[in-house]
Structure 1
Amino acid sequence: MQRPIDKLIKFLDLQKINAPYADDFKMASGRVIDRGWYLLGEELESFEAQFADYVGAQFAIGVSNGFDALVLVLQAWGIKPGDEVIVPAHTFIATWLAVSELGATPIPVDVCPDTYCIDVNKIEGAINAKTKAIIPVHLYGQPADMQAILALSSKYGIPVLEDAAQAHGAKWFEHKVGSIGTATAFSFYPGKNLGALGDAGAVTTNDAQLAFRLKSLRNYGSIKKYQHDDLGRNCRMDELQAAFLKVKLPFLQKEIEARSRQIRIYESRLSGLAIRLPLIRENCTPVWHLYVVQCECRDDLQQFLFEQGIETLVHYPTPPHLQTAYHCLGYKVGDFPMAEQLARRVISLPIGSHLLDSDIEFICQKIALFFNGIVASSAWVSGRGS
């Protein structure tokens, strides 16, 4: 029997997530309206300073969205047609599209089966004279192996642009994502752990020259009005979104802690079932933007959970190299086996401050019920697999 619609466990409930901030949002918007300044003003400057301080970087540059954050950094680095940029084979397509936006070619590298991040052991084999940047993605809020990636960056003189669209507050050792590589791109899409009430993004960096260039590129290539030194774009974060993000930033850690608590329930209750849980790498602190597990009977499990009133999603059902948009690159099924395996097996379970711990317990009970009577291979019964 399907759960009543009013009892549906939603994968994401932005109304419920943002409800505690409603009064502060209204005050923030009123402040912007009263000031009558809507772009590149005090709210943005204040948020940039606060977010830079949060991640431990010297500079934060607010932009229109996470995609533009990636594009602007690549443009500032002079990425152009004929260049190649290394990207993970399993990621949201925006990572690839940012490279294509500048006429360069995304060069995919397969990913790890347990963390879902780029396989650092395969990056060096993709580097050649045309390689101009590496974009590791801290996918689902799990930091990639930055120590190994930065070693390759130093060895070959290739800059690293971290895609942290899903990793606000994540740590590699004691350093927050956003303070580690040459530059880091963030998204504040409404569903992120730190989400705006519309599109917004940012770049963090410790490079003063890069920060200055990005401020120019985001504003038509201009720092001084009507003086244009770059072939820039219109990629500015507006004052309203900056004001809203200032309201939510002080509570980001609380959101991360709620998700971490829910993860502990999932790990405790799902261990031993024929489902593969993500590995938490040593010296790594994920923030669990998404809790993504693997199951050989993913589609059946998803349908069963839906019938029980539990909403789940798949991040992501088709790898970029098999998307119609990238048929031009000539990749085929089998070229990146781990990315393709994940596309068949991953399922994202509900997580976040809109849920109670009892909701997570209920989800775990239903997953256990699903697997009752199902005989799984021994490789999948260990909880995390090898």
Structure 2
Amino acid sequence: MPETKAWSGDAHNAATAMFGRAKKQTDDFSKYTTAVGDALSGAAGPIGSARTALLKKADEIDNSGQLHVSDQWVVLVKGGQMTVEQAAALEKRAQSEQITVNRLLTDVGAADEAGAAAVTAAGQSHGLQLPDPTSLDRMYPGALKPGDEVPNPFSYVGATQQAILRDTEMSQTVRETKVDTQYNPNTGEAVATTTTRYMMDGSKHIETVDAKPNFSDRGPLTTNVHIDKNGNEVSRTTTVTYNNSAQHGMAGKTTSTTVYANGTVANVTKWPDGKEELVITEPNKPPTHVPVNLIDHPILTPLGATGKYFGPGVSVATSLWDIAVAQSSFERCVAIAEGVTSVTTGTLGGIAASGTGPLAIPISMAAALGGETLGNWIGNTFCPR
């Protein structure tokens, strides 16, 4: 149509319809993204305010000097020289502060849930279809709502997790250390030096190092006794290193024998080249050789950091936990630990799987529970039934 300089005909009509459809889809997508963006913007304020209040309270506790808040939002007692009465008072204070932290943590969770619901509603109003939780779609990443990354304080499981984390932390934190040297009353020579580490929860580790060896082919004996908060013996470990004059292939070896309260015995032998052997013997059962090549750290390497102490009995048990997980499955080990700790699998599994929790939390908890619990776990896991 030269006079109007316009197009007409089937091709023109098809092109016009195509651009019309494209504009509609673009407008719909723009409305979709605007709605989702508005939902996100609306959620940012409440989430930010709740998060700021929680962080402010955590900083306040951290700066108090005697308490601190962990990555899992559990209020813990810092290590340091103090009496058992002071430790008990700090534990009560930590429990009190936990109530405030839990309320603020719940505010963050509620704001996050509200934001997620608003974003979902905005999407659904523009055609978003959520996956059916009962279909196979749930197997795809992101199809299901993620679980809690920290204990939920307003659920029974979450509250129990918080209590367990605090209890095990206190069982591993030194509040006082005393060193005493014993002397021969006749000669005045030093006989042994005893170091007693008192833990926050009332338990203690008594380490005695003999000044002289009892035999010419080995060095002085070291004995470590772990006593729980009720005064019951958890484990007793004796360690000695043989010198180069030792016979029968023992030259240069270090042997460590841990006897647990239920009679289970863990014998560790370490050769000069670093190779280690571990044998577990349960009462009235044949010895079990454990393949130590399945763990990432040497069995006899002391565990702990500044202000922390596990003791050799827990250190060996922690290595055994690593081995058990490598041999079977994490779930099986948690189930066995459940049987000897009287804590549900859900609670125990949640804190054991956390990368920010104490090392091998089921083992640390079993040791904190005291008595025969730790030995029972070892026997149930490694010895043939």
> How would you bin the TM-score normalised by the shorter chain?
under 0.3
Larger Rg: 2
* TM-score of the pair, normalised by structure 1: 0.19
More strand as a share of residues: 2
